[in-house]
Chains A and B, each alone.
Chain A
Amino acid sequence: MPEYLVKENALADFFRELTQDRRLLTPQGQGENCRLEETDPSKVSLEYTNTHKSPKECFFPQTEKLLAFSKEADKPHPNEYRDLGDKAVATVIFGLRPCDARGLCVADKVFQNDRFTDPYWKGKYEKTLKIGLACLNPSPQCFCAAMGGSPFGEAGLDVLAYPRDKGLGLKTLTEAGEALIKTTKAEPGDLKSEIADLEKKAIEAQGPIDHFVAINERKIMELYKAPHWPTTAEPCLGCGVCTFFCPTCHCFDIQDEANERGGIRMRNWDTCMSALFTQHGSGHNPRPSKTERIRQRFMHKLKYIPIKQDGVRGCTGCGRCVVMCPANIDIRSVAALMAQTQAS
């Protein structure tokens, strides 16, 4: 697939061109406040570390209505649940960081696989073109390379962009991506070696984090009884911020809300950090304490998902949980402990 250039003076036009038949989400705002929004393509931010929240909410919103019924006789099919349908619209997202794009791939395998397809995810996922924005200066809290990704990673993206002379360099990665860029006035150019240089520099800036590699990904129960889980869990507040912000966390809880007129069924994000997550109707809880819950989270990210998804880790190194955790439970340190235990 070829590369393209968007010069500084053509940037505004480029974004306008992207909106031709579709909704465009772009990063808006600086620093912590950066988020993917439809608001103003002329104010696209290229100077952000990462979006505040992960882009999973574009495909898997925190609250999503699934079904509804009405008790009113004059409504169609009273008292029957009806699918609220696929309301997805054609969208292009500009500015996915490669780590987040990889995160979407992990979630996508959960929502779409050979045994099951989630129609709500599928509709949105398929109707969205994803333009990544590579990281020239990864944040000190980022570690995508250590997780098998790269600041210039291509997984899950249709196009990879990177800031270039206040304009953009583009590399199309899929047919759809190529077709999309063709609808714009982006100029073709050969950027292969430039991209390779930039990627190398960016990876070096992150520095090596070897211990992730050391975690044996195949022996599922090996770390289950590791002695560090209680101490790791001890400061945990159980808030679940790590899961809410994680680009790969995908658990949800189904709820009905109803009144005398009718009701809806929806799903809401859930978090394995909450005791209720595994609370049985009987009152029994297989993960009764923070220790089991913390273990679950890290084992899931670093062992169970890799086993299910051919070695791809459930962590993409985006660093959100590292920064957000109020108690500073740092997955890098936890991984180090896991590696240590395994080694000993």
Chain B
Amino acid sequence: MSNLDTLTQKIREKAKSLLEGGQADVVIGYRTGTVPLMAAPFFARTPQDCDQLVWSSFARLNLANYLPGRTEKVALVAKGCDARNAVGQVAENQYPKDKLFILGVPCSGQVDAAKVAAKEPRPIQTSEETDDSIKLTGPGYSTDLKKEDVLRRNCLTCAHRTPTLANELVGPEVPSLPTDDFSDLTALLAKSSEERLTYFKDLIKDCLRCYACRNACPLCYCPVCFVDETRPQWLGKSTDPMDTMTFHLLRGLHCAGRCTACGACETACPVNIKVREFNRVLDKTVKENWSYEPGLAWDQKPPLTVYQPNDPADFIK
């Protein structure tokens, strides 16, 4: 049995016992998608439902996104990043810790559909995976891809692949990867201002302002988002590039110090914008200035809610 199958089985068993034992009212996990390369969010409320739960490398969405405002007791099938966001949401009072059961899944990384499409542009009918490869079939063809070649960027620099604060892990820990060293950003920052501005403007030129990135983000639970504000209207509603830029900058700022690099935003983006570039600039700043990583402890204080009298800020004259 492959490791994935084992994890799937463990998730189902545990989910059933949690529901039966009354420790959870709902298990939020993934089911097999109706399209290839997709594991869809799934809400299991009965032991029978649990048979639909699966684990795969297509579980890209961050399920912590479904916690805020929920009144039921939730068991959350969580990757390292999902678990960290769940911890963050507890810290931010979005979900009570005593109702939460984190069913941690040590994660070996999630597949980037765009990377797959780049390697196999033909229409894909089915996708089947083993522990380290993906078999794709389509009208008149079949292709095998090595999983490591098509993982998402953020999964390649994930230092917390095994959930840190899970109530229970469904499998053995997976080794952590070296964390994002931001070397590409450092190289980008070495370029001229003009080049950088061009880079970032190009990055978002296709943005539709659909806000899927926001909606997929577990940090974005505000009852009213600044983009929807009318008095004052922070942002124009058109596709004006500066309004679009402002959206991405402020979205980044709002996530600063809270982002776990789960990549849900990029997964959700229908036009494949690397929206996390903005977050990464800030992640880098947060890390360099305050050595802070979110979601690693229940009582962590996000960097914008605290200060040090000697916070470094040489640019302030």
Contact = CB atoms under 8 A, between A and B. Distances in A.
Contacts of B264: 326
Interface in B136-185: 138-139
Given A240-B210, A327-B40, A137 B228 contact: no
A287 to B, nearest CB: 15
A30 interface: yes
Contacts of A231: 43
Given A140-B125, A333-B34, A238 B238 contact: no
Interface string B175-214: 0000000000000000000000000000000001011101
Interface stretch (B79-87, B88-96, B267-275, B285-293): B267-275
Interface stretch (B1-9, B116-124, B305-313): B116-124
A137 B216 contact: no
B34 A324 contact: no
A244 B236 CA distance: 18
Nearest to B63: A235
A330 B38 CA distance: 12
Nearest to A279: B228
Interface size bracket, A side: 35 or more
A163 B66 CA distance: 46
Nearest to A257: B236
A340 interface: no
Overall SS of chain B's interface? loop
Nearest to B124: A140
A175 interface: no
B238 A32 contact: no
Contact of A239 (B34, B124, B211): B211
Interface residues of B, number: 40
A326 B61 CA distance: 7
Contact of B139 (A137, A141, A269, A322): A137
Contacts of A276: 228
A140 B123 contact: yes
Given A255-B237, A326-B267, A241 B212 contact: yes
Given A327-B41, A328-B35, A137 B238 contact: no
Nearest to B217: A237
A274 B239 CA distance: 17
B215 interface: yes
A269 B207 CA distance: 13
A278 interface: no
B123 A139 contact: yes
Contacts of A31: 117, 121
Contact of A271 (B123, B138, B210): B210
A140 B211 CA distance: 28
Contacts of B34: 322, 328, 330, 332-333
Given A32-B114, A140-B124, A322-B35, A255 B210 contact: no
A323 B35 contact: yes
A235 B42 contact: yes
B237 A140 contact: no
Nearest to A234: B43
Interface string B254-265: 000000000010
A274 B34 CA distance: 24
B35 A239 contact: no
B237 A268 contact: yes
Contacts of B42: 235
Given A240-B210, A326-B212, A63 B239 contact: yes
Contacts of A332: 34
Interface string A31-48: 110000000000000000
A49 interface: yes
Contact of B43 (A235, A237, A255, A323): A235
A269 B34 CA distance: 28
A314 B38 CA distance: 25
A176 B267 CA distance: 43
A244 B210 contact: yes
A324 B228 CA distance: 23
A328 B38 contact: yes
A238 B215 contact: yes
B15 to A, nearest CB: 16
A162 interface: no
Interface string B94-130: 0000000000000000000010010001011100000
A234 B210 CA distance: 19
A239 B139 contact: no
Given A30-B121, A140-B138, A322-B35, A235 B238 contact: no
From A139, A237, A239, A271, name the one whose CB has the most chain B CB atoms within 10 angstroms.
A237
A253 interface: yes
Interface in A266-292: 266, 268-269, 271, 274, 276
B35 A330 contact: yes
B236 A235 contact: no
Interface string A290-332: 0000000000000000000000000000000011101110101
Nearest to B34: A330
A253 B42 CA distance: 33
B208 A244 contact: yes
A59 interface: no
From B42, B208, B214, name the one whose CB has the most chain A CB atoms within 10 angstroms.
B208
Interface string B230-251: 0000001111100000000000
24 contacts: A30-B121, A32-B114, A32-B272, A52-B271, A62-B208, A62-B238, A62-B239, A63-B240, A234-B41, A234-B66, A235-B42, A238-B215, A239-B215, A239-B216, A240-B211, A244-B270, A255-B237, A257-B236, A268-B238, A269-B208, A271-B210, A274-B228, A326-B212, A326-B264
Interface of A: 30-32, 49, 52, 62-63, 137, 139-141, 205, 231, 234-235, 237-241, 244-245, 253, 255, 257, 266, 268-269, 271, 274, 276, 322-324, 326-328, 330, 332-333
Given A238-B215, A239-B268, A257-B238, 5 more contacts: A32-B117, A140-B124, A234-B43, A245-B270, A326-B264
